[in-house]
Amino acid sequence: MPPQADARLGLSRRELAGAAAAGTGGGAAVGYLPGVSAGVAAVLALPATVGRDPAREYVVATSGANTATAVFALFAYRAFDAPRSGVLVAMREAGVPAVLGPMTAAVVVAGAVGVLGVVVLGDRALRAVGALPHRPLVAGALAFLALLSAGFAGPVGVVVLAAAAVVGFVPVRLGCRRVHLMGVLLGPLVVG
């Protein structure tokens, strides 16, 4: 975990606004597309950013894309009666009516609580996570995923998990982002 020196922004106002606007625009676009995530929107938005620090701008663009995707997925759900995210699928299965006003208000409240949570609890949470023993934590998470894969799909599930893990290392070796692997969802979406 990199040390966090102070609370000042590492981006200029212009860079911050550009990254936020690009992420928001990308999130608005993918909010209407099934199987395309806010992470994909952030990567697509990066060429529109203006600054010198792509890593920081990616974080800002991802935040804007996440929020915009949530809002515009609601609009798509209401307009097309077709959920565009897992949350909306779950809401539909639970019988929650697609009433745009309260749903949009819930997204706004959740966003505000998230901002306040980062400001108030962010440093403490970062210290707590930084103090955790990472190797045992990662090993435990991997073991849990292997057990879930075996439980849901048997030995084939464990083989698929191992193959996916190997594929997950390819972008790191090639120096690109893992979000490009999200393209794997497009085939099933086109067929289904």
Burial class (CB in 10 A: 0-12, 13-18, 19+), 133: exposed
CB neighbour list of residue 177: distance below 8 Å, 6 or more residues apart: 43, 171
Q: What is the largest CA-CA distance in the chain?
A: 52
Is the pLDDT score of 96 beyond 70?
Answer: yes
pLDDT at 175 over 90: no
- In terms of Cα–Cα distance, which of 76, 78, 48 is closest to 64? 48
Averaged pLDDT, 6-16:
74
Please state, for a pLDDT cut of 70, what percent of the chain lies above it. 89
Is the pLDDT score of 123 beyond 70? yes
Task: Convert the pLDDT of each residue in 22-38 to its tens digit.
Answer: 888 888 887 777 767 77
Higher pLDDT, 129 or 180: 129
For 164, the token pair is 């996916």
